[in-house]
């Protein structure tokens, strides 16, 4: 993928680094696979604001994505690579041999006209979905299920991918982008390759207005609030406010948030890397 550094003809474009969208081949979605989205604006069913800094934004239609890849034994052709406003990755429109159309998360290297397949008999090539007991060790995978038939849960965002390390008994060991190594049932489906739009993290919006288009309202710094509004507010002049914490006195650094009795602990081989220990 390629990035464009925008010519600085306005203040908003001076620092903008935009996606070139070279991979995209269509600008309108498949009508049969979209449904409307109703925005909450951060309000609950009584109209009370329960989440701050949410509101506005451009209208969107939700693209129905096939995360289960349960149409096995039928070959599909890639018709388009499209932009999806609801996620960081690009999506691909598949048309199966029987005429059915479905969207999937597009992996890197997927081209229009390629043939894809899912199931145990599929070849381990980019875009094909197979159980992990049929995927060669060392392969890079994404859209990984945590329970068979549940649908993809892991490695769905732009540029992400896990590595299949080993198989032992009914479990497969994978290394996730966070650095965590864990066991997953080896009959869970996964898709070969890494997720598309890998340079998404390198883009820069260039101006605050772009956040408003995405439905994000301006955020007030806690240290700029009054003591009645936030534990870090108040004071004469600029005060540090002590250890960073939320409105509910939950510390943002150093406090463990994972339950010590979580059942999936036995499946974790190596914990994710801590940024504070680097």
Residue 86 clears pLDDT 80, i.e. is over it = yes
- Per DSSP, helices labelled H in the chain are 209-213
Average pLDDT over residues 131-140: 97
At the second CATH level, the architecture of 3-201 is Beta Barrel (2.40)
Q: What digits encode the pLDDT tens for the residues 183-213?
A: 999 999 999 999 999 999 999 999 999 999 9
- pLDDT confidence of residue 2: 86
- In the three-class reduction of DSSP (H, G, I as helix; E, B as strand; rest coil), residue 184 is classed as strand
Residue 278 clears pLDDT 70, i.e. is over it = no
Q: What digits encode the pLDDT tens for the residues 157-179?
A: 999 999 999 999 999 999 999 99
| Separation of alpha carbons 203 and 117, rounded Å | 33
Q: Where are the domains of the chain?
A: 3-201
Residue 217 clears pLDDT 70, i.e. is over it = yes
- pLDDT confidence of residue 168: 93
Average pLDDT over residues 136-148: 97
Is residue 87 within 8 Å of residue 134, measured between CB atoms? no
For the CA atoms of 245, 247, 249, 251, the dihedral, rounded to the nearest 10 degrees, stands at -20
Mention every residue, 6+ apart, whose C-beta is less than 8 A from residue 187: 131, 132, 133, 148, 170
| Separation of alpha carbons 148 and 130, rounded Å | 11
Q: What digits encode the pLDDT tens for the residues 102-126?
A: 999 999 999 999 999 999 999 999 9
């Amino acid at each position: 993928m390629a990035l464009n550094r925008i010519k600085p003809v306005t203040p908003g474009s001076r620092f903008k680094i935009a996606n070139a969208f070279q991979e995209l081949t269509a600008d309108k979605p498949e009508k049969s696979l979209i449904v409307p989205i109703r925005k909450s604006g951060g309000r609950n069913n009584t109209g009370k604001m329960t989440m701050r800094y949410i509101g506005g934004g451009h209208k969107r239609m939700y693209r129905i994505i096939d995360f289960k890849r349960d149409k096995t034994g039928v070959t599909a052709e890639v018709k388009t690579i499209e932009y999806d406003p609801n996620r960081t990755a690009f999506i691909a429109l598949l048309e199966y041999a029987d005429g059915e159309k479905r969207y999937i998360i597009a992996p890197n290297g997927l081209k229009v006209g390629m043939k894809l397949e899912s199931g145990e008999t599929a070849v381990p090539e980019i875009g094909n979905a197979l159980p992990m007991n049929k995927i060669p060790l060392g392969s890079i995978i994404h859209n990984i299920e945590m329970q068979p038939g549940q649908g993809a849960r892991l490695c769905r965002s732009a540029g992400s991918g896990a590595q299949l390390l080993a198989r032992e008994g009914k479990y497969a060991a994978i290394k996730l982008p966070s650095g965590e190594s864990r066991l997953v049932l080896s009959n869970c489906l996964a898709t070969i390759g890494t997720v598309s739009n890998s340079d998404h993290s390198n883009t820069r919006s260039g101006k605050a207005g772009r956040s408003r288009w995405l439905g994000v309202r301006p955020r007030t710094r806690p240290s700029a609030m009054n003591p009645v509004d936030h534990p870090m507010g108040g004071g004469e002049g600029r005060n540090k406010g002590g250890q960073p914490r939320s409105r509910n006195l939950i510390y943002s650094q150093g406090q463990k948030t994972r339950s010590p009795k979580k059942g999936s602990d036995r499946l974790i081989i190596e914990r994710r890397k801590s940024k504070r220990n680097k």
